[in-house]
Structure 1
Amino acid sequence: MVEQGVKLSYLFQNFIKVPEKTKNVHVSKKINLDEIEEIRQAIEHVKDKLNGQGRLVVRYSGTEPVVRITIESKDINLINDGIDLIAKTIEKHLS
């Protein structure tokens, strides 16, 4: 940037911040999430709702007994509803 005389504000002029939320769900055991049909279906349901217009990450922490759920979307209601659905389903099976 300095060598080319470009300001940081120029690089970020088209940057659009998208709302994001992360929730940690404490678990008593770590089982492959795809092996539990109801959890797999909840994740797929939220992915379908995002319809390619957001991001969903569901993964175990490497250092804590938690599953981290992160959703990015322009639709804050979809974020909240999706996090709640996946979290409650994981709690039902793994807490």
Structure 2
Amino acid sequence: MRLPQPPGPRIYPSGAMVSQTSVHGDFRQRYEVPRSPQTNPSHAEEAGVSAIADGVPEVCRRVREQLMLGASQIKIMSGGGLASTMIRSTASSFQKKKRVPR
């Protein structure tokens, strides 16, 4: 006799975290800087851990890429973490946009 299975945990994937240059989600090494449109993705970007986005158009593009890859929500690294060596944990690097482009 087979017992009914209770509903299991649900996984809501976020994909890569979206971060700005020098913020908590920027894991690039010294040899991966400076970044330009012609450079290859960093190791963290290739592994799908982070997506560096500087400016509104890049943030929109990186968010769309994560949604295209199956993310059901977006992780934004907007400041420093407790263990971050690049920025204070209380600092915020993203600013509120008054209008959202459609």
Taking structure 1 as the reference length, the TM-score comes to: 0.28
Bigger strand share:
1
Higher helix share: 1
- TM-score when scaled to structure 2? 0.27
